[in-house]
Amino acid sequence: MKWLKIILFLLPLTLAFHNLDAQQRFPKPEFHTHYTQPTPTTPEPRGVGMEFFDVLVLLVVLSLTSWFAIRKRSRNGILLLTVFSAIYFGFYRNGCICTVGSIQNVALALADPKYVISLYALLFFLLPLIFSLFFGRVFCGAACPLGAIQDLLIFNPITIPAWLRKTLGFIPYLYLGLAVLYAATGTEFIICRYDPFIGIYRMNGPHLMIYLGIAFLLMGLFIARPYCRFFCPYGAILNVFSRFSRRHLSVFPTKCIQCKLCTTSCPFEAIDFPDEEKSKPDTKTNSRKFILYLALIPVLMLAGAWIGSKSHVFLSKAHPDVYLAELLISHPELKTDSKNIDIQTFLASGKSLETLVAEAQVIRDKFKTGSWILGAFLGLVIGLMAMNQVIFRRREDYQANKGNCYSCARCLDYCPVE
């Protein structure tokens, strides 16, 4: 009888044995004492249900910043909001997901048929852009946790020559283009991977990241907001959007009296000076230049597209599957390298090299399309940047540059006009 029981007990087990890749080697014990078997715990994720509250907070901070920057003209108000954002979005909510990184979620949602973006990530992406179309870069002014930590640590900003500023100003567009390319091809989220401040906000992270963050902050003592000005990909979009904003922070409340008091107030050199009468360019040569640069844009875009499509092989190597396939083809001897985890796992998985290569080829084809678009986009950016140099806009006052101004409101206190 006892044996029958055991056989009956073991029968389903032997069946399960086959189902589960022979994982069940030892029978389930039959306890005779009063032993209660524990169950594995499943701790709840942190901050569940806070996402939409975060969206609300973002909305409030953006609205208040707009009000402080444009109506109330209060630097202190904005400073307070900046501190709040650094504490709330940064130290308390630990940064993820942030607006800057949400670019990648949007790009992936558009490109990957299987990826679903959560509504709050989409809102985090959209809200600051919509605000920038009406009130300028108020997001940068106080709401962005990355900007906030840099803004609070500006100590003694130095002046950066205009040519250097403008040249380095190209990097954000490059970064933006690469981030979108890598996100859309499902390679990786480079903005998140190289976010210098997240480790500081979490007070935990890979050491390299923390050091990078500290390096940025130290640099920021003298070069105000280095990440914002020379790297931030979202800032690149905001820069363009903000140029068309309906209203914008103004250095002077009513009329500029040319007192020049504000000229040194902006740590980011975002205040445009009035043009001197004699520097007014000769209209004829200028318009000829304008037409030349305009005609140059398609040429630059074509050249960019060509360079882009040439570099797609190189760019696609960042994708792990492409990298592995290439490695196995070019160095077949590595198959015996027991230390190479990727190769060993691939060999053990029983997948054929042909399948891997075919999959890698699909990804590389995506890169082919993506790379020439990226190249053309960068060509367009260079063309527009060059054209911007010859467009002559009459300027009579000292006024914040709508593209570059972060709406931090520092300059407002310098203006003596009531």
Partner 1 sequence: MDRKKFINNSGRLVLLGGLAYLTGSIIYQRKVSASGKYVWQIDPFKCTQCGRCATECVRDLSAVKCVHAYSLCGYCDLCGGYFKPNTHKLNTGAESQLCPTGALNRKFVEEPFFQYTIDEKLCNGCAKCVKGCGSFGNGSLHLQIRHDLCQNCNECSISRMCPSNAISRVPIETAYLIKGDFKKPAVSTPK
- Residue numbers 120-159 binding partner 1 by CB under 8 A: 122, 126, 129-130, 133
Residues 135-174 that bind ligand SF4 (CB under 6 A): 139-140, 144, 146-147
Contact between 271 and ligand SF4 per CB under 6 A: yes
Contact status: 29 vs partner 1 (CB under 8 A): yes
Give the one entry of ligand SF4, partner 1, none that residue 257 binds, where binding means its C-beta sits below a cut-off of 5 to 8 angstroms depending on kind.
none
What is the dihedral angle through the alpha carbons of 95, 100, 103, 106, rounded to the nearest 10 degrees?
Answer: 40
Closest CA to 27 of 60, 5, 46, 42: 5
Q: Which of 149, 183, 200, 266 binds ligand SF4 (CB under 6 A)?
A: 266
CA distance 200 to 210: 6
Residue nearest to ligand SF4 (CB): 147
Q: Report, in Å, the least distance between residue 235 CB and ligand SF4.
A: 3
Give 14 or 167: the residue with its C-beta nearer to partner 1. Answer: 14
Residue 45 interacts with partner 1 (CB under 8 A)? yes
Q: ω before 307 within 30° of 0 (cis)?
A: no
345 is written with which tokens? Answer: 């796992």
* 118 touches partner 1 by CB under 8 A: yes
Closest among 252, 250, 248 to 417, alpha carbons compared? 252
> With CB cut-offs between 5 and 8 Å by kind, which of ligand SF4, partner 1, none does residue 226 bind?
none
Site residues (CB under 6 A) for ligand SF4, limited to 393-412: 400, 405-411
* Smaller CB separation from partner 1, 83 or 122: 122
* Nearest approach, Cβ of residue 105 and partner 1 (Å): 7
- φ/ψ of 399, rounded to 5, equals -145, 150
Closest CA to 402 of 272, 273, 275: 272
* Among 84-92, 276-284, 344-352, 384-392, the segment contacting partner 1 (CB under 8 A): 344-352
363 binds ligand SF4 per the rule CB under 6 A:
no
Alpha-carbon span 129 to 221, nearest angstrom: 28
316: which 2 tokens? Answer: 């696609």
Residue list 214-243, contact with ligand SF4 (CB under 6 A): 227-228, 232, 234-235, 238
The least distance separating ligand SF4 from the CB of residue 74, rounded to whole angstroms, comes to: 12
Number of residues binding to partner 1, judged by CB under 8 A: 72
- Give the 3-state secondary structure of residue 272: strand
Q: Does residue number 346 form part of the binding site for partner 1 (CB under 8 A)?
A: yes
Nearer to ligand SF4, 2 or 46 (CB): 46
Q: Do 345 and 329 touch, CB atoms closer than 8 A?
A: no
Q: In terms of residues, how long is the chain?
A: 418
Which residue is associated with the tokens 């490695």? 327
| Cross-strand partners of 271 | 400
96, 402, 171, 55: CA torsion to nearest 10: 10
Residues in the interface with ligand SF4 (CB under 6 A) total 26
12 binds partner 1 (CB under 8 A): yes
Q: Both tokens of residue 197?
A: 């401040």
The candidate with the shortest Cα–Cα distance to 289, out of 387, 198, 186, 379, is 387
Nearer to ligand SF4, 100 or 382 (CB): 100
Q: Which residue has the tokens 């300027």?
A: 395
Q: Is 24 in the site for partner 1 (CB under 8 A)?
A: yes
Q: By CB under 6 A, is residue 86 in contact with ligand SF4?
A: no
Contact 383, 301 (CB under 8 A): yes
Residues that bind ligand SF4 (CB under 6 A): 100, 139-140, 144, 146-147, 227-228, 232, 234-235, 238, 249, 265-266, 268, 270-271, 400, 405-411
